Amino acid sequence: MSTRRKFLRSSVAGSAAVLSGQSLLAMQEVPYPVTKGNPIVISTWDFGKAANAEAWKILSAGGRALDAVEAGVKVPEADESNQSVGYGGLPDRDGRVTLDACIMDEQYNCGSVMCLEHIMHPISVARLVMEKTPHVVLVGDGALQFALANGFKKENLLTPASEKAWKEWLKTSKYEPLMNIENKLYNKENDPMPGGINNHDTIGLLAMDTNGQLSGACTTSGMAYKLHGRVGDSPIIGAGLYVDNEVGAATSTGVGEEVIRIVGSHLVVELMRQGHKPEAACKKAVERIISRSPEKAKQVQVGFLAINKKGEFGAYALQPGFTYAVKSGKEETIYKGKSIY
C-alpha cells in the first residue's frame, strides 16, 4: 500500500474514532500489534529454562501456545529434584503433597485445580477442567475424583528427600516464609525452614505462538509446610496467572497471600492495557503490594513476570533473587529480575 493511501486510511480511522466507540476499540489495538511469526516463551526462575525448551519444541514447529505452556510446565512437575512443583514437592504440615495449578488460553478460557493430591501433572487436569467441564475450578477430593475418572494415575508424590525435609521441619514447626531473598534477610545458617523452603519456587510460564496467540500456565506445590487446605495465588485466575490475548499475559511467584490481595497478574495485564511496558507494569504491581502491606512487603518475596502482544517481556520483584528464563528465535537467556529492595 502506498504511503499516501496508508495515511488516508489512518486519518479516516482517526476521525472515525472520535465519532464512534467501535472505532475507538479498534484504535486501542494499535499499541499492541501482534508479532506473528516470532514465537517466544518466558517463565519464572532458572528452572524455567528446561520448561521453556520443551515449550519451544511446540512453538518452533508452529504449534499452539496452549499446548506449549502445558508441555513446558510438565517438565518441573515431573522433576523430583524440584521441591516446589509437582512430584517431589514439599508437603503441607501434615506431610501431604497438595498441588495447585491453572491454565488460560487465548480465548479467555481457563481451568484450575486446587489442593489436588496424588496426581503428577495437575496442569493437565486443570486443562481438562477448562476443556471438558462447564466449570473453572475443581478442588481437593473433587479434583482428584475428576482426574481419576479421566484416566490419570494415582501416585505417591512425597519423595524420600521431601519427607526427610518435612521431618526436619517438624522438629521446630516454625513457619516463616522468607522465600528466595538474596540478601541479608536470608542465609543458610539461620534458615528458619530448613529443607528447601528458601529455594521454593512456582513455575509460571507464558507463551506466544507463531500466530501471535498468547497462553499461560502456572503450577506449584505451594508454600512448604502450609496448613492443610491452604491455597495460594498460583491456581487463582487473575492472581497467579492472567492472559488477555488483546493485551498480554502475566504470572507471579512468591508469597501468594500478598499477590491475592491485589489480584496481581490481572493488575499487571490491566497496567499493560493502560500503556505500560511489561517491566513497568510488574513494578507498579509490586509497588501496590508495598502500599497495601508496607511492613510485610519488607519480609517476603513476590515476583511478577509479563509479556505483551509485541512479544516484549519484563519482570519485577520485591526482593533481589528473582530470576526468569526466556527462549525465542533470538535468545535463550536467564535474566535477573530487578527489585524494589
Residue 64 labelled as part of a binding site: no
Q: Which of 62, 58, 72 is nearest to 210 (CA)?
A: 62
Residue 283 and residue 237: Cα distance in Å, rounded?
20
Q: Which of 82, 112, 198, 202 binds ligand SD4 (CB under 6 A)?
A: 202
Q: Which of 136, 142, 151, 124 is nearest to 66 (CA)?
A: 124
Residue 48 labelled as part of a binding site: no
Element (H, E) at 186: none
223 binds ligand SD4 (CB under 6 A): yes
Pick the catalytic residue: 202, 219, 220, 251?
Answer: 202
Residue 204 labelled as part of a binding site: no
> Which CB sits closer to ligand SD4, 178 or 307?
178
Contacts of 185 (CB under 8 A, 6+ apart): 178, 299, 319
Q: Return the range that interacts with ligand SD4 (CB under 6 A); candidates 65-73, 75-83, 115-123, 229-237.
A: 229-237
Q: Return the range that interacts with ligand SD4 (CB under 6 A); candidates 47-55, 148-156, 215-223, 306-314.
A: 215-223
Residue 218 and residue 206: Cα distance in Å, rounded?
9
Q: Return the range that interacts with ligand SD4 (CB under 6 A); candidates 53-61, 157-165, 197-205, 267-275.
A: 197-205
- Binding track, positions 60-89, relative to ligand SD4; x by CB under 6 A: ------------------------x-----
Q: What are the distances in angstroms from CA 36 to CA 29, 33, 212, 259? A: 15, 9, 5, 32
Contact 208, 311 (CB under 8 A): yes
Q: Which of 276, 257, 261 is nearest to 32 (CA)?
A: 276
Active site residue 35: no
Q: Estimate the crossing angle of helix 3-19 against helix 21-28, to 10 degrees.
A: 130
Among positions 239-268, residues that touch ligand SD4 (CB under 6 A) are 253-256
Q: Which of 195, 232, 248, 311 binds ligand SD4 (CB under 6 A)?
A: 232
Residue 253 labelled as part of a binding site: yes
325 binds ligand SD4 (CB under 6 A): no
Residue 232 labelled as part of a binding site: yes
Residue showing cell 529443607: 195
Q: Return the range that interacts with ligand SD4 (CB under 6 A); candidates 17-25, 87-95, 200-208, 264-272.
A: 200-208
The one-letter amino acid code at 163 reads E
Binding site: which residues?
230-233, 253-256
The footprint of ligand SD4 (CB under 6 A) covers 84, 179, 200-202, 220, 222-223, 232-234, 253-256
Residues with a catalytic annotation lie at 202
Question: Which residues belong to the annotated binding site for substrate?
Answer: 230-233, 253-256
